[in-house]
Amino acid sequence: MSASSDILRTGALAAEGRRRTPHRKKNIASRQIGRHLSATTLLWVFAIGFAFPLLWFVLSSFKPSGDLFSYPLTLFPKQWTLSGYTTAWQSFDFAQYFINTIIVACVTTVLTVAASCASGYALAKYQNRWLKVFFVCILATTMLPTEVMLAPSFLVIRDLGLYNALAGIIVPSILTATGVLMFRSFFLTVPDDLVEAARIDGARELSIFFRIMVPLSRPIMLTLAIFSFQWRWNDYIWPLLVLNDPSKFTLQIGIQSIVGAQNINWSVLLGASVISMIPLVILYLVFQKYVMGANINAGLKD
């Protein structure tokens, strides 16, 4: 039976099946095929369902504005055009929005990763009263998102002199509970023996962190960096509160201003939306193996 369990887990059918009687081999083989079929079908039904809204959206963006609403609707544009994109690019200060968004996303991401890594490590590998309090505080921040305290948060930003400045978006976004919790759960999986061993070798606490733990946590860093970049790229409500000057707007606010108009110009909206997604899609396609492949509990397990 142990051979068959191996088959179930690894699918090493050919190697193991040779030892079986022909009848059982056939039985297992057909069950294998059945499982392959059903799992693959299910996976692709879901995948197509998930892809479709975006596919329809992107295909529509290549239609000329006159064809967008002409019945019968067709999946593919009869006539491919980039006019929606060019109009969107010209009628808005898109380059400026892009630069603003990139600055905000990059700076915040670097700071978030650094702060979260340090806090997560402290919470995982030390125990004292203050850390317990801090941990509860971090959990509380997930209960107290900015959205819940819009008005007072706005007053704080104003009193700190950060109103209408990109720093006003960056600084408050650095602390994220998700980031801290991600690092904490990663460092919990790092055996204490590693810390002990370093201590026995005479390493200082902070150099244990910087020289052993930081390099170990690289996969989590990349994962959080991509997450953080995405969060900040897509932020809406915080920039909406803090920014007043159109030259400082981020992409999301620019796009919402099209949606909020009396009559939505769908041609421009489709183009602008697709443009705003491109950087994240590229980033993801480049780094996807770090996101999806990142073994969140990397290392040290035997």
Site for other proteins in 258-287 (CB under 8 A): 259-260, 266, 269-270, 273, 276-277, 280-281, 284-285
CA distance 132 to 232: 29
Beta carbons of 183 and 220 less than 8 angstroms apart: yes
Closer of 81 and 178 to other proteins (Cβ) = 178
Q: Which of residues 187-206 bind other proteins (CB under 8 A)?
A: 192, 196, 199-200, 202-206
Asked if 300 touches other proteins (CB under 8 A), the answer is no
Q: Does residue number 236 form part of the binding site for other proteins (CB under 8 A)?
A: yes
- For the bound state, the minimum distance from the C-beta of residue 209 to other proteins, rounded and expressed in Å, comes to 7
Nearest distance from C-beta of residue 276 to other proteins, angstroms: 7
**How many amino acids of this chain bind other proteins (CB under 8 A)?**
115
Q: Which of residues 102-141 bind other proteins (CB under 8 A)?
A: 114-116, 118-119, 121-123, 125-128, 130-131, 134, 137-141
Q: Which 145-174 positions form the footprint of other proteins (CB under 8 A)? A: 145-156, 160, 171-172, 174
Judged by CB under 8 A, the chain residues 20 through 59 that form the site for other proteins are: 32, 35-36, 38-40, 42-44, 46-47, 50-51, 53-54, 56-57
